[in-house]
Amino acid sequence: MKILVIGAAGMVGRKLVAALLKTGQVGGREIAGLTLADVVEPSPVTASIPITRVATDLSAQGAAAALIADRPDIIFHLAAIVSGEAEADFDKGYRINLDGTRYLLEAIRQAGLQHSYKPRLVFTSSIAVFGEPLPEVIGDTQQHTPLTSYGTQKAIGELLLADYSRRGFLDGVGIRLPTIVVRPGKPNKAASGFFSGILREPLAGMEAILPVAEDVRHWFASPRAAVGFLLHAAEMDTDALGARRNLTMPGLAATVGEEIAALERVAGPKATALIRREPDETIIRIVAGWPKAFDARRASALGFAGDADFDEIIRIHIEDELGGKIG
């Protein structure tokens, strides 16, 4: 079985590739070859199976057709211009997130019109398809009312995925990922950065800034849970989905205060003492409009499983990123 990962150089993409190479199979079928694509050439990986690494622009003429030329059985489409950039550069966001996705779907359809071809396509959507006003707990039939161009593009991607699946051109599963914590690496300027920062920096013995109040509630998953969602989406029986191909993943609803309490349980008061409260009105305003919690019962019933609690999310970071040690 051949697998294509588009967006393989990103954080989730790299962890997905590592997980695929570790088990060597998806749904009991052996992986015979893996193509890693991204806008920059993905880093080399050590593997016993053939690995192809491709730098490509999904919005360029013929790029999608070239990517699927060897007819991968499973395609993970994780590539996207992120929220802030899609908002700052309207054309680029629509070109990559809408046109790029559509070119991929259309290349698959065209290949299927010529020969029998109907791959599983796993598409990462986002809770950014939801925008305020929202209920405290968002159910599985909440309408999509994005308040960013990124969220709009993801919502359109979901609609296209469902229609192409309904028409039988491909076998799509769209998963709305929660906010990923603990995101490894350096602090960044994303408005959501502090959700990871207040855990990651103290766990590394460094100070972190908390710009919002402790009662701010949001929806989370660890990188390991996110990879688990992707793998389950690749393996699951899609007959159970019917025509509704897109699912809110079962994240974990938690307040910032609950994050900090978990940090104290796992790493002690010397870690939480490194969190400095510095309210930022801009971030407070942005975050106020974000989803607080979901009732993701549909995905849970379909076998998707998230993190048990925030202690587990922190322990996953310590195991996967810090070699088991707190700095």
Catalytically annotated residues:
150
Residue span binding its own copies (CB under 8 A) among the ranges 151-159, 204-212, 229-237, 316-324: 151-159
Kindly determine how many residues on this chain lie close enough to bind its own copies according to the rule CB under 8 A: 21
Residue span binding its own copies (CB under 8 A) among the ranges 140-148, 171-179, 228-236, 306-314: 140-148
Site string for its own copies, 77-96 (x = CB under 8 A): -------------x------
Question: Looking at 146, 211, 228, 251, which residue binds its own copies (CB under 8 A)?
Answer: 146
Cross-strand bridge partners of residue 184: none
- Segment 164-223, which members bind its own copies (CB under 8 A)? 166-167
55 sits near its own copies (criterion: CB under 8 A): no
Burial class for 40, CB neighbours closer than 10 Å (0-12, 13-18, 19+): exposed
Helices 223-235, 11-23: inter-axial angle, 10-degree rounding: 60
Q: Check: CB of residue 158 under 8 Å from CB of residue 142.
A: no
Q: Alpha-carbon distance 9 to 54, whole Å? A: 10
Would strands 252-255 and 74-77 be described as parallel, antiparallel, or unpaired? Answer: unpaired
Site string for its own copies, 242-261 (x = CB under 8 A): -xx-----------------
144 sits near its own copies (criterion: CB under 8 A): yes
Nearest to 303, CA basis, from 253, 249, 257: 249
Question: Looking at 51, 147, 316, 322, which residue binds its own copies (CB under 8 A)?
Answer: 147
Task: Indicate the residue among 52 and 142 with the shorter CB distance to its own copies.
Answer: 142
How far apart, in Å, are the Cα atoms of 228 and each of 14, 15, 207, 269? 13, 10, 31, 31
Structure tokens at 139: 């159910």
270 sits near its own copies (criterion: CB under 8 A): no
Residue span binding its own copies (CB under 8 A) among the ranges 31-39, 162-170, 171-179, 230-238: 162-170
Cross-strand bridge partners of residue 159: none
Q: Check: CB of residue 75 under 8 Å from CB of residue 120.
A: yes
104 sits near its own copies (criterion: CB under 8 A): no
Task: Indicate the residue among 40 and 243 with the shorter CB distance to its own copies.
Answer: 243
313 sits near its own copies (criterion: CB under 8 A): no
Residue span binding its own copies (CB under 8 A) among the ranges 11-19, 150-158, 183-191, 314-322: 150-158
Q: Alpha-carbon distance 272 to 278, whole Å? A: 15
Torsion angle of alpha carbons 98, 104, 106, 108, nearest 10°? -160
One-letter amino acid of 312: E
**Residue 100 CB, nearest approach to its own copies (Å):** 15
Residue span binding its own copies (CB under 8 A) among the ranges 39-47, 153-161, 172-180, 292-300: 153-161
115 sits near its own copies (criterion: CB under 8 A): no
One-letter amino acid of 75: I
Nearest to 229, CA basis, from 176, 154, 155, 179: 176
64 sits near its own copies (criterion: CB under 8 A): no
Nearest to 154, CA basis, from 170, 177, 133, 120: 177
**Residue 210 CB, nearest approach to its own copies (Å):** 28
**Residue 146 CB, nearest approach to its own copies (Å):** 7
Q: Alpha-carbon distance 69 to 46, whole Å? A: 24
**Residue 122 CB, nearest approach to its own copies (Å):** 20
Q: Alpha-carbon distance 231 to 248, whole Å? A: 15
Interacting residue ranges for its own copies, rule: CB under 8 A: 90, 131, 141-147, 149, 152, 155-156, 159-160, 162-163, 166-167, 243-244
